[in-house]
Structure 1
Amino acid sequence: MVQKLDRRKRYTRMALKNSLMELLKEKPVSSITIKEICEHADINRSTFYSHYADQYDLLTHVEDEIIDELNQALLQYDYTQEKEALAMLKYLLEYVYSRHEHFRILFSEHGSKRFTHKVMYAAQTHIMNDFNEPEHRMSEIAAKYLTIYSVSGSITVIEYWLENGMKESADEMAKIITEISKPC
């Protein structure tokens, strides 16, 4: 019985998340009502409120789920090793590709700037941890600015890639981002 309830909860949450993502294609979260989300998901309002406080809470859960998955992947790589950095970037781009609709929507004007900031923060945190290793001679402040510059540029390149139909493979994009991110 418990497993059946867990499965129902997961299904309900998935339906609500998918409904929100579909509606975000058309308009910003501030213009989406709970009624619209529920009608689109074929779920009643009381069920919605048993899972989420409002549409913003639902959006936060969608974003956090993606960020948690990204963080788990980022923990597996050592950015100080060039081959690992390239492998990590390729993995992340493959992940973005596998969920391209969600990323395209969340990075769009209908998404939330908060999501972009969460992605940037996650990447910066992991990269900065590697810059704190003793073999790096860069000052902490210089490393922080370099990381911000590199991460924000990479995200902008990924947004462009998403908006233009992802014609390049994840491998090609990883090489491009790595090449343009190298200090002169």
Structure 2
Amino acid sequence: MKDRRTIKTKKAIRESFLELLKEKDVQQITVSELSRRADLGRGTFYLHYQDVFDLHEQLEKELFDQLGGLYDESFPSQDPLDMLSFLNKTTEYLKEKQFMMTLFVKPNSPTTNQFKSFFKEKIMKEWQLDQRQITEHEQIVASFVVSGVVGVLEEWIHEGMTVEAGQLAHILYKLLMKVEQES
């Protein structure tokens, strides 16, 4: 079990980082100002992270690990309701992490593009379980689906998540079922 002081320190660093990320791009954040904001010494910061980019990457990795875990809980599956379950869990998770998502998910940001690549790779791996070559048509469908879903989620995040998470999940589910029927 982690030391309570370590947990508290990392939490202070992360919260201060997210506050600074509201004000400026990650490239403009320095360890000195982050440490001041967290009321810690620079040396304490370096006990936990190599630099500001390492902190950013660790936060991103946690997001991807959580979302990947949600995906892996639901797939592979032949039951279409597992897709709805995944979408519900995903939108609820994003809602729970709304503040962080607003800072990380921006149009054409590296994080948004990584989300697309991450989920496309998950879909392709699932399809490869059939032990066959994935067709160009399937690759196009996967790109379309991932770009569409990530685009809708991105817009939802930046418009303040005014649509209920469950309602959005249901809309996405209906759209995905139509795409599946047509392809």
What TM-score, normalized to structure 1?
0.86
The structural deviation recorded for 1:91 is 0.4
CA distance in 2, matches of 1:13, 1:64: 15
What TM-score, normalized to structure 2?
0.87
CA distance in 2, matches of 1:97, 1:62: 16
Give the secondary structure class of the aligned counterpart of 1:167: coil
Structure-2 residue corresponding to 1:57:
54
Structure-1 residue corresponding to 2:40:
43
Structure-1 residue corresponding to 2:130:
134
Give the secondary structure class of the aligned counterpart of 1:43: coil
Query: RMSD between aligned alpha carbons?
Result: 2.2
The structural deviation recorded for 1:26 is 1.2
Structure-1 residue corresponding to 2:85:
87
- Does residue 158 in structure 1 map to residue 153 in structure 2? yes
Give the secondary structure class of the aligned counterpart of 2:3: helix
Which of these residues, 102, 118, 124, is aligned with residue 122 of structure 1? 118
- Given that residues 15 and 41 in structure 1 are in contact (C-alpha distance below 8 angstroms), is that contact kept between their aligned partners in structure 2? yes
CA distance in 2, matches of 1:35, 1:25: 17
CA distance in 2, matches of 1:62, 1:56: 10
Identity %: 29
Paired letter, 2:124: M
CA distance in 2, matches of 1:15, 1:140: 48
Structure-1 residue corresponding to 2:138:
143
Paired letter, 1:99: K
Render the CA deviation track for 1:40-81: whole Å, top value 9, x for unaligned.
111110111111111111100110111111111111113542
The structural deviation recorded for 1:6 is 2.0
CA distance in 1, matches of 2:118, 2:92: 17
- Unaligned runs of 5+ residues in structure 1 are none
Distance 1:144 1:10, change over 3 A: farther
Give the secondary structure class of the aligned counterpart of 1:87: helix
The structural deviation recorded for 1:180 is 3.0
